[in-house]
Structure 1
Amino acid sequence: MSNSMVVMQPKAVMISSHSDQWGTEICDCCDDMPECCFAFWCFSCFTCISAKKYGECLCLPLLDFCGCVPPITMSMRGSMRQRYGIKGDMCNDCLMATFCRACVWCQMSREMKTRDLQITLIGARSL
C-alpha cells in the first residue's frame, strides 16, 4: 500500500454581472464629459493614456496615423470585446474605428471604467 498525496490548486472563478453588449453607445460621449473634453482637446494624449490603462504600450496608438484604416484602434476594440465578452464583429470594429475614431476611444475608456475588475485574494498570507 502506497501513500500518495494529491494537491490541487484552486481555480479562479470570475463572475460578471455585465451584459454581452457595450455599456454605452458609440455616441454617448457626453456621459463622461471630462474624458470627452480630454479626447477632443488632446486626442493623442487621451489614446496613449487609455492604451496604458488597458495594459498596452503607452505609445502604441501613435501608430494609427500610418494609414487610412487605424489598425491599433481596430485591434484594441476587438481585444476589448474579447476580454469583456462583448458581442460584435471585425467589420463593425473596422467601420467604427475608421469613421468614428474619437468616439470609439471614448467608448472604450467608459467601458474600462464600468468593467474595472478589482482582484481580491482571499486567504492569502502576507510575508
Structure 2
Amino acid sequence: MYPNNPAPVPNPPACAVPAGQWTTGLCDCFDDPGNCCITFCCPCVTFGQNAEVIDKGTTSCGVAGFIYYALANIGCSCLYTFSYRSKLRGLYSLQEAPCGDLLIHCCCLSCALCQEYRELKNRGVDPSIGWQANAEKWNRTGGGGIVMAPIVAPGMAR
C-alpha cells in the first residue's frame, strides 16, 4: 500500500535549513555515534536503510543491503551507492559538495553513508524504521506539512 504512495519525503521548516545546504558535513560522523559504529561495522545496514527511504519503499532495506554486500565483495559498491546520494540531493535540492557523488562514494564511502543517514534524520525521516513506518507516522501526525488523502474503506454503494 505505501510503496506506491506518492507522498514526498518531508522537508524541515523553512528556517531550519538553508536552501541547498547539507545539514551536516561529510566528516561529522561522530555527530551520531550509534550510526557511525553501525556504518563502520556493517555499512550494508546503513546503506539499506537509506536506500529504502530514498526510494520511498520500492527497494527494501534487505535487498539494497544485500546488493551492497555483494558488490562490496568485488570492490565496486560505490558504483551502486553513489546514485542514491544523487537521488537524495534531488529530493532536497542539495549541492554536489565537496565534489562529485561518485568520487565521494569511492573515496569516503562510510562518511558519505553516515552523512546521508544524518541528512534524512535531520529532515524528519528516521531511516532505521523504514519507509512504511515513516509513512504511517506521517499519516498519524500530519507528516510535517505533508497533506495526504485519508484511506477510506470501501462501503456499500447505492
Q: Flag whether TM exceeds 0.5 (same fold).
A: yes
The residue that corresponds to 1:116 in the other structure is 124
Q: Could you tell me how far apart the structure 2 residues matched to 1:109 and 1:15 are?
A: 15
Report SS of the residue matched to 1:86.
Answer: coil
Over 3 Å counting, the alpha-carbon distance change for 1:46 and 1:21 in structure 2 is same
Query: Can you give the 5+ residue segments of structure 2 that lack an aligned partner in the other structure?
Result: 1-9, 126-142, 154-158
Say which one has the larger Rg: 1
SS of 1:87's equivalent in the other structure is coil
> Which structure is richer in relative contact order (CA contacts within 8 A, separation 6 or more)?
2
Q: Select 1:57's aligned residue among 45, 48, 60.
A: 60
Distance 1:43 1:111 in 2: 16
Give the drift of 1:54.
2.6
Q: What is the aligned partner in structure 1 of residue 37 from structure 2?
A: 37
Aligned length: 113
Q: Does 1:22 align with 2:22?
A: yes
Instruction: Answer yes or no: is 1:93 the counterpart of 2:101.
Output: yes
1:5 alignment counterpart: none
C-alpha distance in 2, partners of 1:125/1:107? 34
Q: CA RMSD in A?
A: 2.8
Gaps of 5+ in 1: 1-13
Distance 2:41 2:69 in 1: 16
Q: TM-score, normalised by structure 1?
A: 0.71
Q: Which amino acid aligns with 2:90?
A: Q
Take 1:26 and 1:15, find their aligned partners in 2: how far apart are those partners?
Answer: 20
Q: Deviation of residue 15 (structure 1)?
A: 7.3
